[in-house]
Amino acid sequence: MPAATAPVQLDLTGSVADLTRILADIPSVSGDEAAIADAIEAALRGFAHLEVIRDGHCVIARTHLGRAERVVVAGHIDTVPIADNLPTRTVDGVIHGRGTVDMKGGVAVALALAAGIPEPTRDVTYVFYDCEEIEATRNGLGRLSRTRPELLQADFAVLGEPTSAVVEGGCQGTMRIEVALSGTAAHSARSWMGSNAVHAAGPVLDVLNAYEPQQIEVDGLVYREGLNAVGISGGIAGNVIPDRCTVLINYRFAPDKSLAEAEAHLRDLFAGYEVTVTDASPAARPGLNAPVAANFVAAVGGTPGPKYGWTDVALFSTLGIPAVNFGPGNPSLAHKDDEHCPISDLVACEDAMRRWLTS
């Protein structure tokens, strides 16, 4: 039998840049987070001021100081698949590699805070969770909200998602649908005897090409919507006219819409077609007018912007907990092969969060 691999040891008291690199160099594609969760749990258990709880591949660490307010600082520990962009490397003050932006930089900041602030002015629940990058049904934070909701009770939450170290409020909702086209199979040498379902997808693609995404202002922030085909499938053999074709479409919608309203909009656009919703997550309004959110913005500084994309602020919103996104790294680099995060962003986020948790 091959020798067991020794668990990675994390130093939570060193530099946040070094910690980011070590975390990013632990492969943790969605569904394969055991090794990084083990390392995080072991490191956190070394600090007496934290209660540490393991739930699947989620690791929760909490202070119990009897403060008047409790906040959640959360980050997901999974990444999208590696694209020959590990191990990490540092060039001119920038860390390159999968997960440096989305979002092991944010996780490193949270871990440094958990270890380095034994007596915050607010009680803090740090949550490190799995399976954020895949279908919502497997999301570790969602699982906690259903099975251990008491662990997420708080007055406010901060998601360490990449925001270039400025506050981003709310998030877009996301919905994926399949539009199915039917035809009649036939031998391709006698194509006139069939009906080509792939060709029938043309009008669906025409709808998408002609669609003009809206820019919608919600609570002072402008969200840009998007509607795009993200996949198409059909055909069974090189000599058969396909009798079935499916177009997979992703709709990113502003937080002025509910899931029901987003679905109704898509069904109106593709009226007459067979439409199936395959995945959906709600949007979240910015909520920056809540006093606890306004206090956070004042503490960390900067001018808030909208979050383009979906994050788990939406889940906290459904729980009635105001939440914002605030983390290192340019969000436009998330999932890119050349993903990279400036060390200056890591330091800025750590310093800002430390000010907030000690003020």
Residues designated as active site = 78, 132
> How many distinct helices (H) and strands (E) make up the chain?
9, 19
State whether residue 79 is helix, strand or coil. strand
Give the side-chain half-sphere CA count within 13 A for 262: 27
Residue with tokens 């656009």: 269
Residue 16's nearest CA partner among 88, 101, 111 is: 111
State whether residue 220 is helix, strand or coil. coil
Q: Is residue 92 a contact partner of residue 332, using CB atoms and an 8 Å limit?
A: no
- Which element (helix H / strand E) includes 311? none
Q: Facing residues of 70 across strands?
A: 123
- For residue 109, the one-letter residue type is V
Q: How far is the C-alpha of 234 from the C-alpha of 194, rounded, in Å?
A: 15
- For residue 264, the one-letter residue type is A
Q: Is residue 127 a contact partner of residue 277, using CB atoms and an 8 Å limit?
A: no
Q: How far is the C-alpha of 129 from the C-alpha of 31, rounded, in Å?
A: 11
Q: Is residue 125 a contact partner of residue 152, using CB atoms and an 8 Å limit?
A: yes
Residue 71 CB-density burial (10 A; 0-12 exposed, 13-18 middle, 19+ buried) = buried
Question: Within a 10 A sphere around the Cβ of 34, how many other Cβ atoms?
Answer: 12
Question: Within a 10 A sphere around the Cβ of 215, how many other Cβ atoms?
Answer: 11
Q: Is residue 259 a contact partner of residue 115, using CB atoms and an 8 Å limit?
A: no
CA terminus-to-terminus distance, the chain: 53
